[in-house]
Chains A and B, each alone.
Chain A
Amino acid sequence: MKRTPRLIALLSLALAALVGCGKAPPETKGGEPLLRLLSESQYRSIIADVFGEQITVGGAFDPLVRTNGLLTVGASRAHVTPAGLEQFDRMARSIAAQVVSEENRDILMPCKPATPAAVDEACAARFFSQVGRLLYRHPLSPAELQTPVKAAAAATRALGDFHEGLAAGLHGMLMSPAFLFVIDSTEPDPDAKGKVRLDGYSKAARLSFFLWGTTPDDQLLLAAERGELHERAGLDAQVERLVGSPRLESGMRMFFNDMLAFEDLSRLEKDSIIYPAFSAAVAQDAREQTLRSIVDLVITREGDYRDIFTTRKTFISGPLGRIYRVPVARPDGGWVPYEFPADDPRAGLLAQVSFAALFSHPGRSSPTLRGRAIRELLLCQKIPDPPGDVDFSAFNDPDSPHRTARERLTVHATQPACAGCHKLTDPVGLGMENLDGAGQLRATEDGAPIDATGDLDGIKFADVGGLGAAMRDNPAVPSCVVNRLFSYATARTPLKTEKKLLDHYEQQFADGGYRLPELLREIATSDALFAVKPAPMRSASTSSAKEEPL
């Protein structure tokens, strides 16, 4: 994929500074320093980045609680359970064994031991120093380095094998909280007496996990070491490098995967009799299709973010071709660009199999689940939970069978307790009814023609294509992605006092034509990304009242 030349981006930054267009964002006190458990995707990215794609990571991760729409925020509150730690232990041992295996050691180790069966502390120290800097996201102190070196030496003596000893030391590093948690470290702020700031390495980690979804690379750690991330020019240069890198694509894939709640696609199951074309391979490719399409539009082509709801340009694989019922020139499973014709209602994210199938039941569609997902995930609106005392007898009237979802859901309008929420979800979700529970186009349900008309906040539409167009122009769409990006970057829920800050980002986003890279630069170079206040050292019940979330 071709990227916009970095030079143009640099020039536009310089021009903006020259003519004074770039308004400084409102200040924020920030949140408390965080202890963030690595998410599954971050863990996998780090292992792949540090040791290579050939190292497999098997095992299950404890579930995170989606908070402010993101698992990334939930990770800031997650505990490590005994069962979860057991899984980390299993993964760490497996990774360590692969790293020192005969196939990999020559590539991954900077030295060879003097004797394969004996302790070689110098060689072990070189290895741990090198990988430890990336795993712990800072250079190892002498004491930190001694832990794996000593562990490796003891294990080498016990097992009579240098590489097994090295694996033991690496196992320990991968079990350390310094690796498993991203720990915000603070220092006194020399520019503001009595206040604290994130140290350079914590800033580097925040930037890297935000933009690349992984551990800081060598250059970013060097910039942190030199104090450059505390300086405007140094920070701008690093942000420009990170945003201009092809790795931004994988970072943004991780963001959208989280924002769209796509983690459930990996275990999505459909009834094979009702939807014979759907399979685990389809679900996997459906996720890939959506992430590929979004990243192509908003990062590679630097298009208008809102067009993710209307674009007809996408990518298709062999398994997806069967479910979309379109020919694919790559029966080998490879990806090809594809553009839905103008008379096809399938345009944009909402018409893709991933979204339509994920928010459906195993054997049928669900306008309510779809409407709720659109409201909550894409518009950042909260749909109240269903009441606990609903009378479902109206659904069960044998004399009045309801063939279509619209007919069934109309019954909710007769239930005052249900009507309020269903008015928010159903007129939106019904617009997707031409897509069945597996995301395939259909014209009828149970023999009755489908009416896919609907309404989104007063904008009427005739089908899913119209719904996409209504979404594109909905002001909550850019506002929501701004909220989620800031939340993703800081791994916390924005505070009420930060509303002006988010308004500022949103305005800048609009002024820049809703180009995501510009928004990423804006957030990543703003003081708000790094703002922290001291954490209360007492328990929550005795500390001062917490600030309210937005």
Chain B
Amino acid sequence: MSVLLPRPVNRRSVLRGLLGGASVGIALPFLDCFLNENGTAMAGTGAPLPVRFGTWYWGLGHTPGHAITPKTQTSAGIGFLEECKALKRHEQNLNFFGGFNMPLDGRSNYTHFTGWVASRTGTAPSGNTDIPAPTLDLLIADSIATNTRFKTLDVTAVGIARENYSARSTNNRAAAEASPERLYARVFGAEFADPNKADFKPDPKVMVRKSVLSAVSEDSRALNKTLGAADRARLDEYFTSIRQLENQLDLQMQRPEPTEACLKPPRPVRDGEEQNKPQGLEVDTVIANHRIMSQLLAMAVACNQTRIFNMVFSDNFSHMRRPGQTYTHHLLTHEETPDKVLGYQPVAFDFNCRQMDGFATFLDTFANIREGSGTLLDNVLIFAATETNYARVHSIDGVPVFTAGRAGGRIKTGLHVVGNGDPITRVGLTAMQVMGLPLDKWGTQSLQTSKTITEILA
């Protein structure tokens, strides 16, 4: 294995391991006394365990007829087929949404682009770089991510930092973290304050940094006067980002609340030759990166470093490839000859299977972290989507979407929800409502909807 990090663990198993071995004198940093009797809320404050939101992205959709059994009406049981068989173990953590459409009102289907933009922003793009509205994760972040170190954490396993499917607009899109080492340094590096550490001493340098930023922000306000409306808005956003950074520093100066599930992970280390390899598009490298980055991301969530996260397994044109093969995953979906007996493109299918394996691994990571009376997965809502239904023909109607997690008990799971041609935005609207946004409708033109998917509400 090229990337070394311990297998998924829960906090207690580690403590058991440590205490059962040679280590002595380790203070138990977090005990159940911090939770109420039901294990659903913090005993000290009575505040419920936070519900977090994340997205998981995979490119190029599914192989129709070999991923999920189609249904004609919403019912329990998702109907996993071979491509999705790894997800079977998480059936009770998932919902599947099939048969939802993406009406474009005459706009083009910009291949591998329109699908993710429309399902995440509620509006069809009018060009192949157009992101006409903020993606749903940022709308949720604006609402709930006010008291964490990072407003969002955006991560990609495929090594292409700009392929982040979270954006406020075309020109307002952050780079995703594409390296496990950099992700670790950013979240768990020197600036990480372990919430369960007995001693906490604010770093005076943090206070200095905050003062510096406040002064810059204050003294730069005058610049606004000389700018036009559009640039004033851009500068305002810069000041918003400064405030976000100041909030981050404020939090670093306070003793963090003890957090049951948090255990600072070890620094990921890659073996000798592996260190010189690019983050990479080889499918095994992507899988290894995804595994390690999932663990770091899940622990960042458990340690209350963020409440919003975005993970990209593969990009929307899925440039993943196998060593020695001339065709990438994307090229295969168009040019591989379907097997007459199997009825599908076997190598492209294999890539699709490995993506769904990856999704199952991602869910394992969250499910393996105990939190309260359940797991971290019980306290998140993950919107997992792609940009096409069947990549071979670029179809976007029927694009598959999953939700994972129970959002702190706010939703039911294990359901296969049938859309009957309704706009895909119903899933996004419902997700945002579950996360507490006071929305009664979302989207524009034919993608606009006010219909919550009530079947999944608890």
Interface residues, chain A, CB within 8 Å of chain B?
A: 32-35, 60-66, 74, 77-87, 89, 93, 143-144, 147, 150-151, 154-155, 158-159, 168-169, 171-172, 175-178, 180-181, 183, 185-186, 267, 269, 271-274, 280, 361-364, 385-392, 395-398, 408, 437, 534-540, 543
Contacts and interface: CB of A to CB of B under 8 A. Distances in A.
Interface string B161-184: 110000011111111000000100
B205 A159 contact: yes
B245 A89 contact: yes
Contacts of A79: 168-169, 171-172, 234, 237-238
B204 interface: yes
B275 to A, nearest CB: 12
Contact of A280 (B111, B152, B278, B328): B278
B109 A388 contact: yes
Given A65-B129, A85-B245, A177-B235, A362 B319 contact: yes
A81 B172 contact: yes
The 3 closest A-B CB pairs, nearest first, are A535-B228, A388-B109, A63-B162
B224 to A, nearest CB: 10
Nearest to A80: B238
A176 B222 CA distance: 12
Contacts of B216: 147, 172, 175-176
A82 B245 contact: yes
A361 B326 contact: yes
14 contacts: A78-B234, A80-B241, A82-B152, A83-B152, A89-B213, A180-B238, A183-B227, A271-B323, A387-B111, A396-B336, A535-B229, A537-B229, A538-B229, A539-B230
Nearest to A172: B212
Given A65-B171, A168-B208, A388-B108, A35 B234 contact: yes
B215 to A, nearest CB: 5
A151 B336 contact: no
Contacts of A269: 159, 278, 280-281
Nearest to A157: B208
A93 B189 CA distance: 15
Contact of B212 (A32, A168, A177, A385): A168
Given A86-B245, A177-B235, A540-B229, A388 B220 contact: no
B416 interface: no
Contacts of A63: 161-162, 173, 175
B278 A151 contact: no
B378 interface: no
B128 interface: yes
Among A86, A143, A391, A536, find the residue whose CB has the most chain B CB atoms closer than 10 A: A86
Contacts of A177: 220, 223, 235, 238
B252 to A, nearest CB: 13
A365 B405 CA distance: 43
Contacts of A538: 229
A521 to B, nearest CB: 30
A491 to B, nearest CB: 12
Interface in B320-342: 321, 323-328, 331, 334-338, 340
Given A60-B175, A78-B234, A147-B215, 10 more contacts: A82-B241, A84-B241, A175-B212, A177-B238, A385-B108, A388-B110, A389-B109, A389-B394, A390-B393, A535-B228
B219 A143 contact: yes
Nearest to B211: A154
Contacts of B327: 361, 363-364
Given A79-B172, A390-B393, A178 B323 contact: no
A396 B337 contact: yes
Nearest to B113: A385
Among B109, B208, B233, B244, find the residue whose CB has the most chain A CB atoms closer than 10 A: B208
B38 interface: no
B212 A169 contact: yes
A361 B226 contact: no
Contacts of B278: 267, 269, 280
A390 B394 contact: yes
Nearest to A539: B229
Nearest to B335: A395
A35 B223 CA distance: 11
A439 to B, nearest CB: 15
Given A84-B174, A362-B321, A537-B228, A158 B204 contact: yes
Contacts of A176: 216, 219-220
B396 interface: yes
B280 A175 contact: no
B440 interface: no
A391 B393 contact: yes
Interface in B248-291: 248, 278, 280-281
Contact of A81 (B204, B205, B241): B241
Nearest to B239: A177
A81 B134 CA distance: 12
Given A62-B173, A535-B228, A83 B235 contact: no
Contact of B211 (A32, A77, A151, A178): A151
Nearest to B243: A82
A158 B208 contact: yes
Among B212, B230, B237, find the residue whose CB has the most chain A CB atoms closer than 10 A: B212
A9 B380 CA distance: 68
Nearest to A364: B326
Contact of B238 (A60, A85, A267, A395): A85
B175 A61 contact: yes
A361 B334 CA distance: 14
Contacts of A171: 209, 212
B229 A388 contact: no
Contacts of A273: 323-324
B328 A361 contact: yes
A146 B337 CA distance: 69
Contacts of B338: 396
Interface in B135-152: 150-152
Contacts of A158: 204, 207-208
Contacts of B223: 177-178, 183
Contacts of B305: none
